[in-house]
Structure 1
């Protein structure tokens, strides 16, 4: 019924890592970690999405714009827009879509 997980804290910084924390018919939560200088390659999201930086700093590239995001900042973006993410320092963030 209830579940406590340490997946987020246990996911290390080894290049680019992605884990699905939750997947339901209505939404999913992705836990992503990027080692400093690594890139989450260009892709699109099938749904409107929300990114929450847990730790570190990333640059979110979308539509020719760069958005610097730091710990505890939130960013939302539309579905089907090409984007990519670069880690300024070791970083972890959640994507909810």
Structure 2
């Protein structure tokens, strides 16, 4: 009935890694890891989304602006706006949408 999921902790820093942790009709949670210097290429989100940095430091690029985020910081961004992410160091973050 209750389980502990270690996929976030076990997720490696090998370029870009994306794991879908939860997917329901109302919610999706993605765990993303980026090795230092790796890039999550340009894309859009189908819904408004929340990003929570669990570990490391990233730069979130959206609307020709750069937002530096680090451990325990949160960032909101709108649906259907092109964005991309680069890792300043080995990093893990969640996307909740």
Same fold (TM over 0.5): yes
TM-score by length of 1: 0.98
Over aligned residue pairs, what C-alpha RMSD do you find? 0.5
- Name the CA distance, whole Å, in 1 between partners of 2:74 and 2:57: 12
- Name the CA distance, whole Å, in 1 between partners of 2:91 and 2:62: 19
The residue aligned with 1:60 is 60
Structure 2 residues without counterparts, runs of 5 or longer = none
Aligned residues: 97
Structure 1 residues without counterparts, runs of 5 or longer = none
- SS of the aligned residue for 1:8 comes to helix
The residue aligned with 2:4 is 4
The residue aligned with 1:96 is 96
Q: Residues 45-73 of structure 1, C-alpha deviation per residue, up to 9 Å, x if partnerless?
A: 00000000000000000000000000000
- Name the CA distance, whole Å, in 2 between partners of 1:3 and 1:47: 28
The residue aligned with 2:23 is 23
- Name the CA distance, whole Å, in 1 between partners of 2:61 and 2:48: 16
- Name the CA distance, whole Å, in 2 between partners of 1:91 and 1:44: 20
Structure 1 segments, 4+ long, off by >3 Å, are none
- Name the CA distance, whole Å, in 2 between partners of 1:13 and 1:50: 22
- Name the CA distance, whole Å, in 2 between partners of 1:51 and 1:14: 20
How big is the shift at 1:2? 2.0
- SS of the aligned residue for 2:9 comes to helix
